[in-house]
Amino acid sequence: MNATDRTPADLLRSALAADPGRPLVTFYDDATGERVELSVATFANWVAKTANLLQGDLAASPGDRVALLLPAHWQTAVWLLACSSVGAVADVAGDPAAADVVVSGPDTLDAARACRGERVALALRPLGGRFPQPPDGFVDYAVEVPGQGDLFTPYAPVDPEEPALIVAGAEYTGAEVVERARGDAPELGLTGPGSRILSALPYDTWHGLSAGLFAPLAVGGSVVLCRHLERLGEDAVAKRVESERVTATAR
């Protein structure tokens, strides 16, 4: 990564320039058996499409608050970077009533209805599948995102010193997210390019977000993001660590 990177979106751009074909996020859901692997290029494409949806169709601007009512999931990681690309504030598990946009998984739709702005629903089905029946009052992400542009340009430059992330009651600027992620990397066992961390931590704390996305992104590494890992025995976890060539774990 470049020393001049000041926002999470900058980190992704640098990763794309350095090695677009390498894995960035490998996601497992051990409740459904799902496994998805996204290269840097594929992940960046999802981010660009989502940022275009956020800025264009949903009219989000720098400083707008986007409440993310989502679990640790590859699509949540996409939304975090899309918010950074636009300059919107990603408010993880934030109050929908105080948000300009709410992005909800299937289990939090009732709470998400408190948002008076735009509402987006994610089915979180394997392969990014859509809802069988779109939730009333919500845009179905899986329906809307495929038609978005593959390249994204923000309407206004993103200021790294402006708020970019809220999690567990703490607010961080884009620059602080990058700085903290870089600082966390050695403690997490991420030593640089090629480092690969298995994270089973939820995304509702800074530590979970850092281990599960920001720290590996900051050092040119990758993450094996596991949801419902507790359903596996230790032998199965050990086999995953070996097969995925994991170099560090956060559980």
| Whole-number Å distance between alpha carbons of 46 and 49 | 5
Predicted pLDDT of residue 3: 75
Helix axis angle for 8-18 and 174-188, nearest 10°, is 60
Predicted pLDDT of residue 1: 65
Question: Closest Cα partner for 70 from 79, 82, 58, 61?
Answer: 79
Q: How do the domains of the chain map onto residue ranges?
A: 8-250
Residue ranges, the chain, pLDDT below 70: 1
Predicted pLDDT of residue 4: 87
35-48 pLDDT, tens digit per residue, is 999 999 999 999 99
pTM higher than 0.85: yes
93-107 pLDDT, tens digit per residue, is 999 999 999 999 999
Count of helix runs (H) and strand runs (E) in the chain: 9, 12
- CATH number for the region 8-250 comes to 3.40.50.12780
The partner residues of 29 in beta bridges, in order of sequence, read 34, 227
Predicted pLDDT of residue 200: 98
Q: For residue 148, give every residue at least 6 positions away whose Cβ sits within 8 Å of its Cβ, in sequence order, or none.
A: 48, 49, 50, 52, 53, 56, 57
